[in-house]
Structure 1
Amino acid sequence: MEKKRWAALAGIAVAATATLVAVQTTRSSGLDNTGGDTEPVSVSATPTEEPPRITSVERVTLQRSLNDVIEQGSSGAVAELVITGPGGSDTWNGVAGVADRTTGAPVDPGAHFRIASLSKPMVAATLLQIVGEGRADLDDSLEDLLPGVVEGGEAITLRMVLSHTSGLFSYNRDMPAVADDPDRAWRPEELVAVANANGPVFAPGTDVAYSNTNYVLAAMVIEEITGRPYTEAVTERVIEPLGLTGTSIPTDSGMPEPVMHAYLALSPYAGAEALPSDITEFNPTRWYGTAQVVSTVTDINRFWQALLGGEILDRPMLDEMLAVQATSDDGYGFALGPRAYTLTCGVEVWTHSGNIPGYRNWTVHSEDRHFTLFQARYQANPDPPAWAAIETAMCPPDEPEEVAPTPTDYPSEPVTGTGRGDDGG
């Protein structure tokens, strides 16, 4: 079991700034009865370290990589890089493309986005807080926590659920099209029933495979323990304490403004050319607990800095969260929410990606760099240009400018989803 210990405090702690103090005490004959003369005394603290800076060359390179995301098939994109050090931090925020293909409106740097599976670490952190309070244990079985909900639940632990080692079928692979009934609301029990009907893909704890069913169940466990909707628990334990003002967990089809519109390539009739169809508004409850959050790039970077910096979980529970349980064939180390990965330049990162109709999202974090990218993907595979942008942002600036994308076929959730049943979530 591998533990990525660097992430707990590195990269976000800002050293206390020492104020330079020059103290002079001068005794004059008019104020000193002794009449004695004294030399001025000067006391100075050690100068503070300069904050890191994103150079103008880096900013241009980052913007070019974001432009490539648009040129290779997305209608709009927004990204943010934060670099940190003992002296402070610096931020680059970039946009490309359009927020609305109809009006041609530009993308807002604070655009709201369906963050898809970037929701999962928030849900995991909330559940781990509850575990840390002694209200559940990571080795509790689903049958203990949710009696009768999951077939074979007595062999599946909460730890397996959070690390995708449960073997449960990912229900979204057998769902009707979003586009056919976008406002349809779903209950979590309905989603779990789809997984039960398909049966497991492997015996619990024997392998690792990404499954959205796991986080539907995580949300249900939160609700069973707290007696309240999981959305309230995440809001009260994560969103509000961190001041994530651009983040919400909607239960209906609406989206807050400003929003980057999402599109699917759909044919109006059999044999017709696929055209962009706006899919911005749909009911997100079909991704209950697994991909329901709406947020901004700034809020996502803030969440991860707080998470890895120990603001959300105490040290023992953060260690539990960052303990890699299994590594997939494409190189991802699955912990309890976050995933470990090594970039081609050798930088170790914590990461998560997201895929939902019309949207593709990435968040990647090292000791001193935090990068989040949202794409409004339209038709082409969005992963190659996104991975190029990730490596441009996360690899040291003295690396070669032409950075090769990851050698493992852009590991992430499936991106073949079109909203017709096989979307990744």
Structure 2
Amino acid sequence: MSTKNIIRILLVVGTITSLYFVPWPIVKAWAKPLPDTVQEQVNEAIDMGFDGIIVYIDLGRKQPAYFAAGYKNRENKIPADPHALFKIASLGKLYNALTIAKLVRNHKLSLDKTLADYLPDLVGRIEYADEITLRMMVQHRSGIPNYTDTFNYWVAPKETNVEKLTLVLDLPASFKPDKDYEYSNTNYLLLSRIMDTVLGYNSFQYIMEDILMPLNLANTFGSINDVIVDDVMSGYYVGYDSDLKTDNIGLILATAEDLGIFIRALNDGSVFKDKEEQEIYSSIYKYGHTGLIPGYQTIAKYHKDIDAVVIQFTNTVNFDGYNWNLSEVEYNRILKILRKKGLH
């Protein structure tokens, strides 16, 4: 057999092999003709494998629009409720970063002080504690290992911050302070502890009084223990039958509307007391976020080109990567509809 024929065979085999690994569900969802309305696109999320979906859209001066499909609770066949509470996972970091900015503005915290300055008991337990600043922690540049990345963490999530922190004490740093970036939930666990210490009370009380109440956000809560459980959208993990909504893992819960109002206030500046506070926040963190835990996926962003806040909740998770990518496909298709056709 000639060299050219061998090369042709290898190319064909390579092509067939690569096609085998193509994420066809994602390609199919992305390539489908765009429907005429947001509600039709929301309905398509159920065909992608999500048990339920909630979408909130605030187009500036127009009245916000609410969309839902699938189930709030699949066991009891309760339809998805656009006003249900949802575990917003890492979106809580926006509230915490904002609180840090406010406390820095009020001279109760300093971004340049170190972890050792505020929590001296961690010297020798967290590497480089005397070099890691609050700024580095807010921006995930501390090198402190992420407790949720520890072996089999999500098999049995820890309920208390002490248990979570114990998982990473005495571990080597992922890198020297400010020399790299690595997303670490441990940073915000420690920032919460620092805020609690400086304030003398739970920092979520400060969030309530200085952020939520001024914005009239009555449907944002600091814990599953603070809500009526039936008001919470169920969460599911593919291959695991139980409803995950009752798991108490210390996360903020909110309705899509409350989260949407907060995201707009963060982006238009109305959540800040003055320009200095806004500049502090802008120097340390971002203005939109995503969140992912077993059972709950959130995308919450402001889109300046169409003056739109779009919140999307999906309540079915599979950590094979496809599931999250499908939620992003869904979100981006909603944005395309808004840019081409608007809400109707």
TM above 0.5: yes
Amino acid at match of 1:357: P
Q: Does structure 1 conserve the Cα–Cα contact (< 8 Å) formed by 2:127 and 2:170?
A: no
Residue in 1 that maps onto 2:159: 185
Q: How far is 1:151 from its partner? A: 3.2
Determine the C-alpha separation between the residues in 2 that align with 1:90 and 1:60: 20
Could you list the runs of 5+ residues in structure 1 that have no partner in the other structure? Answer: 1-57, 266-273, 286-291, 324-335, 339-349, 402-425
List runs of 5+ in structure 2 lacking aligned partners: 1-33
Aligned to 2:279: 319
- Deviation (angstroms), 1:203: 1.0
CA distance in 1, matches of 2:182, 2:62: 36
Give the CA deviation at 1:172. 1.2
In structure 2, distance between residues paired with 1:371 and 1:362 = 8
Displacement, 1:63?
A: 2.0
Q: What residue number does 1:276 align with? A: 241
| 2:269 alignment counterpart | 310
Q: What is aligned with 2:51? A: 75
Q: SS at 2:66's partner residue?
A: strand
Residues 163-213 of structure 1, C-alpha deviations (whole Å, 9 max, x = no match): 111111101112655565x7x631x23322322333211111111111000
Closer/same/farther in 2, CA of residues 237 and 253 from structure 1, 3 Å limit: closer
2:298 — aligned with what? 361
- The answer to whether residue 236 in structure 2 is matched with residue 299 in structure 1 is no
Say what the alpha-carbon RMSD is for the aligned residues.
Answer: 2.5
Where does 1:3-402 land on structure 2 (aligned, <5 Å)? 60-84=36-60, 88-149=61-122, 150-174=126-150, 180=156, 185-186=159-160, 188-250=161-223, 252=225, 255-265=228-238, 274-285=239-250, 292-313=251-272, 314-323=274-283, 336-338=284-286, 350-367=287-304, 368-379=307-318, 381-395=322-336, 397=338
Large movers: runs of 4+ above 6 Å: none
Query: Deviation at 1:400?
Result: 10
For each residue in 1:84-126, what CA deviation from the matched residue of structure 2 results, as whole angstroms up to 9, or x when unmatched?
A: 1xxx233221101111111111011101111101111001111
How far apart, CA to CA, are the structure 1 residues paired with 2:97 and 2:183?
A: 15
Q: Once the 2 structures are TM-superposed, how far is the Cα of residue 59 of structure 1 from its aligned partner?
A: 9.2
1:281, 1:175 → 2: CA distance? Answer: 23
- Deviation track 1:364-388 (CA, whole Å, cap 9, x = no partner) reads 1122110111110144733233222
Q: What is the percent sequence identity of the aligned residues?
A: 26
Deviation at 1:255, TM superposition (A): 5.0
Task: Give the whole-Å Cα distance in 1 for the aligned partners of 2:35 and 2:217.
Answer: 25
| Secondary structure class of the residue paired with 2:220 | coil
Cα separation, partners in 2 of 1:110 and 1:142, compared to 1, 3 Å:
same
Q: Distance in 1 between matches of 2:200 and 2:224?
A: 18
Amino acid at match of 2:48: Q
Say whether the 8 Å CA contact 1:359–1:377 is kept in structure 2. yes
Q: Which residue pairs with 2:29 in the alignment? A: none
The answer to whether the 8 Å contact 2:143/2:177 transfers is yes
Q: Which amino acid aligns with 1:161?
A: M
Q: 1:59 to 1:231 in 2, by over 3 A?
A: farther
Could you tell me which residue of structure 2 aligns to residue 45 of structure 1?
Answer: none
Task: Indicate if the aligned counterparts of 2:57 and 2:309 stay in contact, CA closer than 8 A.
Answer: yes
Q: CA deviation at 1:316?
A: 2.1
Secondary structure (helix, strand or coil) at the match of 1:198 reads coil
- CA, structure 1 residues 252+355, in 2 after alignment: closer, same or farther (shift >3 Å)? same
Counterpart of 1:164, as a letter, is H
2: CA distance, partners of 1:242 / 1:253: 19
Q: 1:214 to 1:207 in 2, by over 3 A?
A: same
- CA separation in 2, counterparts of 1:315 and 1:393? 33
Aligned residues: 301
Question: Does the CA contact (< 8 Å) of 1:78 and 1:109 recur in 2?
Answer: yes
Matched residue of 1:201: which SS? coil
Match of 2:12?
A: none
User: Whole-Å Cα distance in 1 between the matches of residues 176 and 154 of structure 2?
Assistant: 30
- 1:190–1:82: structure 2 CA closer, same or farther, 3 Å change rule? same
TM-score normalised by structure 2 residue count: 0.80
1:62-87 Cα distance to aligned partner (Å, 9 max, x none) = 22332232221211110111111xxx
Change (3 A) 1:295 1:81: same
Whole-Å separation in 1 of the counterparts to 2:71 and 2:317: 12
C-alpha spacing 1:362/1:144, structure 2 compared with 1 (3 Å): same
Moved more, 296-305 or 372-381: 372-381
Q: Distance in 1 between matches of 2:35 and 2:259?
A: 20
